[in-house]
Structure 1
Amino acid sequence: MSSPSKRREMDLMKLMMSDYRVEMVNDGMQEFFVDFHGPKDSLYQGGVWRIKVGLPDAYPYKSPSIGFVNKIYHPNVDEISGSVCLDVINQTWSPMFDLVNVFEVFLPQLLLYPNPSDPLNGEAAALMMRDKSSYDQRVKG
């Protein structure tokens, strides 16, 4: 089994080779930014978000921290801090997942299928459930 630092390096390289723009913070591989494009066929299509990723020392055994830097209107993203409410990152993370999964599966799923019953942004969740067309307009801004 390779060491967590080797795995971190491998996952980061894989992410960079997957056409994501990755910007490192300082010299370490603990913190970096990734440009994430809204998924096709979603309200977020055409948008680009800067995602701040923090890798704990115990990565991949402990999940990365993920946060939106620029504003996004979404029931499961805190509008102020940008933190994300996503079970697979917060509770059910497994070392089988890697950083590419976060950007190609987990975040697109989050944007395609918001869960208003487990909100971090109560206003967005309420609007989505009460008036879907107003919610859609607000997302598209």
Structure 2
Amino acid sequence: MSSPSKRREMDLMKLMMSDYKVEMINDGIQEFYVHFQGPNESPYHGGVWRIRVELPDAYPYKSPSIGFVNKIYHPNIDEMSGSVCLDVINQTWSPMFDLVNVFEVFLPQLLLYPNPSDPLNGEAAALLMRDRAAYEQRVKGIEHFLYHSLQWQ
């Protein structure tokens, strides 16, 4: 079996080859940003978020740390810190998963199917449960602002 450092390198290369824009932090492979687009069929469609990823020394046996850098309105994402409440990353991570899974499966699923019963953003959860149309309008308002005011280099 390959060492965790080799696996980190392989997973990062696989992510870069999957057409994601990746920005390295401090010339290492343990911290980087990934530009993530909101999934089709969701109120986040058209938005682009910068996700900070930190890989622990024990990756892939320990999950990556994932956080939204720019603002997003979602019941399971802390509006101030960008922390993500997602079981597959926080509790049920497996070495069978890789970084591409995070960006092609886990985060899109989170944005498509928010879980208001386990919120990090209580206001977003309450609005989603009370008035889904108003929630989606709020999401689209923030996403519209981000799309037009942030320029990725």
| SS of equivalent residue, structure 1 residue 82 | coil
Determine the structure 2 residue equivalent to 1:88: 88
Counterpart of 1:73, as a letter, is Y
The 1-side partners of 2:107 and 2:5 are apart by: 24
The 2-side partners of 1:132 and 1:45 are apart by: 16
Query: Aligned-residue CA RMSD in angstroms?
Result: 0.4
Determine the structure 2 residue equivalent to 1:112: 112
Determine the structure 2 residue equivalent to 1:2: 2
The 2-side partners of 1:135 and 1:66 are apart by: 24
Q: How does 1:51-70 map to 2 (within 5 A)?
A: 51-70=51-70
| SS of equivalent residue, structure 1 residue 53 | strand
Determine the structure 2 residue equivalent to 1:50: 50
Q: Spell out, residue by residue over 1:70-127, the C-alpha distance to the aligned partner (whole angstroms, 9 max, x if none).
A: 0000000000000000000000000000000000000000000000000000000000
Q: Which runs of 5+ in 1 are unaligned?
A: none
1:125 aligns with 2:132: no
The 2-side partners of 1:48 and 1:27 are apart by: 24
- Give the TM-score taking structure 1 as reference length: 0.99
The 1-side partners of 2:23 and 2:14 are apart by: 14
1:72 aligns with 2:78: no
The 1-side partners of 2:92 and 2:136 are apart by: 29
Determine the structure 1 residue equivalent to 2:16: 16
Counterpart of 1:89, as a letter, is I
1:27 to partner: Cα distance: 1.5
Q: Detail structure 1 runs of 4+ shifted over 3 Å in the superposition.
A: none
Aligned length: 141
Q: Which runs of 5+ in 2 are unaligned?
A: 142-153
1:132 to partner: Cα distance: 1.1
The 2-side partners of 1:27 and 1:130 are apart by: 46
Identity %: 87
